[in-house]
């Protein structure tokens, strides 16, 4: 095996834009990375200040209290029941996404291909690269959902897993998870369903692949966006008990565990829906405002099916998404992500994250009108 040659971290490519935007009289307004700006629930924060259990090692697969909270949340949200061997926690879901191909390849060395949506979160492909696997993008349709029929048989025969993400990052599309589940059963390919944005589903009720079944699937959930707890690094995965148990034991051997106090706080977060609903309305309002603001620039966008991003078409007078992003940085001090950071089909789009306080979202509108 050859030494791993790492590409530049995607968002480091925006550093020059940030320097330019910083010279704007009102300062930079960063809408490039989906880092929550709002606070977690008060009771969750308060639980950390009086945390116990620091003297002992926490459970790698999750405390009984946290597992029960996650299980009840799945049942409330999707009407799916989970047994204790069908659910386990992880140290933030980005870690899970990046490490899953490596761990699964230890389970089945005969497979070496990771399938993922051509327009998607960059870590799906990066996880394959880290594992020494082939990262094979799956073509997307005009609505940015995956075209499963486009997968070559030669890739299908070598497939270790297929990633799906709904609501999707960056485009906010909603996948047909029932169809994807049926595909997984027909072809014997494990599907990892990244459902970290499901709480912010606007076009329908939240959906999970688990509603179709658990065999040969994993659903992955996070508190980072749902409860503004990105800094806590805690999430969970669930589904096929054989796969969950294998991963849980492997991760235990590797010493991967979430701090005990964080597990206590996470259980409280999953027990409450009120703060999530408030956050959903907050993001919806910001997305509406951003749609209006960017339309003034000739930047067209549809309201997303879910998520916290605006996926907006670059105006025709600009040669590329990078050209337009540079113009936004220099003219109004706003940083956005050029769409080809997420795949070639995004080259004529920008991703705008609704992750600034309401007053900053309003300020963007004023900057555009007075530029």
The predicted pLDDT at position 74 comes to: 97
pTM above 0.85, yes or no: yes
User: How many Cα atoms sit within 13 Å of 368 on the Cβ side?
Assistant: 20
How would residue 1 be classed by pLDDT, with cut points 50, 70 and 90? low
Lowest-pLDDT range, 8-12, 34-38, 91-95, 351-355? 8-12
Residue 305, strand partner residues: none
SS3 state at 330 = helix
CA distance 67 to 51: 18
What one-character-per-residue DSSP string does 131-187 give? TT-EEEEEPB-TTS-B-GGGS-HHHHTTEEEEEEESS-TTT-----HHHHHHHHHHH
Question: In b/e form, how buried is each residue of 46-55, taking b as 16+ CB within 10 angstroms?
Answer: ebeeeeeeee
- Average pLDDT, stretch 9-24? 89
10-40+275-370 CATH fold: 3.90.1150
How would residue 83 be classed by pLDDT, with cut points 50, 70 and 90? very high
Mean pLDDT of the chain: 94
Whether pLDDT at 91 is above 90: yes
The two tokens of residue 94 are 């980005």
Sign of CA dihedral 68, 69, 70, 73: positive
Pairing of strands 337-338, 349-353: antiparallel
Annotated domain spans of the chain: 10-40+275-370, 54-270
How would residue 57 be classed by pLDDT, with cut points 50, 70 and 90? confident
pLDDT in tens, 311-330: 999 999 999 999 999 999 99
pLDDT in tens, 356-367: 999 999 999 999
Whether pLDDT at 16 is above 70: yes
Domain at 54-270: CATH code = 3.40.640.10
How would residue 52 be classed by pLDDT, with cut points 50, 70 and 90? low
The predicted pLDDT at position 241 comes to: 97
How many Å from the N-terminal Cα to the C-terminal Cα in the chain? 54
Lowest-pLDDT range, 17-26, 49-58, 224-233, 257-266? 49-58
- For a pLDDT cut of 70, what percent of the chain falls above it? 98
């Amino acid at each position: 095996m050859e030494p791993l040659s790492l590409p530049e971290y995607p968002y480091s490519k925006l550093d020059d834009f940030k320097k330019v935007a910083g010279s704007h009289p009102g300062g930079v307004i960063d809408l490039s990375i989906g880092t929550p700006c709002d606070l977690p629930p008060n009771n969750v924060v308060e639980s950390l200040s009086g945390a116990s259990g620091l003297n002992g090692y926490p459970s790698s697969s999750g405390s009984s209290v946290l597992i029960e909270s996650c299980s009840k949340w799945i049942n409330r949200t999707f009407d799916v029941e989970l047994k204790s061997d069908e659910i386990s926690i992880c140290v933030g879901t980005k870690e899970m996404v990046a490490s899953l191909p490596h761990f699964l390849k230890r389970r089945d060395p005969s497979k070496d291909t990771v399938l993922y949506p051509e327009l998607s979160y960059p870590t799906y492909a990066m996880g394959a690269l880290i594992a020494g696997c082939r990262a094979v993008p799956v073509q997307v349709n005009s609505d940015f959902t995956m075209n499963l029929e486009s997968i070559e048989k030669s890739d299908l025969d070598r497939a270790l897993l297929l990633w799906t993400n709904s609501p999707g990052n960056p485009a906010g599309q909603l996948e047909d998870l029932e169809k994807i589940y049926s595909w997984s059963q027909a072809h014997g390919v494990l599907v990892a369903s990244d459902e970290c944005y499901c709480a912010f589903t606007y076009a329908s009720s939240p959906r999970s692949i688990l509603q179709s079944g658990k065999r040969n699937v994993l659903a992955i959930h996070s508190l980072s966006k749902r409860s503004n707890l990105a800094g806590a690094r805690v999430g969970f995965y669930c589904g096929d008990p054989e796969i969950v148990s294998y991963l849980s034991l492997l991760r235990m051997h590797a010493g991967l565990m979430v701090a005990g106090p964080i597990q206590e706080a996470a259980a409280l977060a999953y027990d409450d829906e009120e703060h999530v609903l408030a956050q959903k309305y907050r993001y919806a309002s910001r997305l509406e405002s951003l749609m209006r603001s960017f339309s003034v620039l000739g930047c067209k966008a549809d309201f997303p099916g879910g998520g916290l991003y605006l996926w907006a078409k670059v105006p025709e007078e600009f040669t590329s998404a990078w050209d337009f992003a540079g113009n936004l940085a220099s003219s109004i001090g706003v940083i956005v992500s050029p769409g080809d950071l997420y795949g070639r089909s995004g080259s004529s789009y920008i991703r705008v994250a609704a992750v600034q306080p309401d007053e900053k979202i309003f300020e963007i509108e004023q900057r555009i009108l007075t530029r």
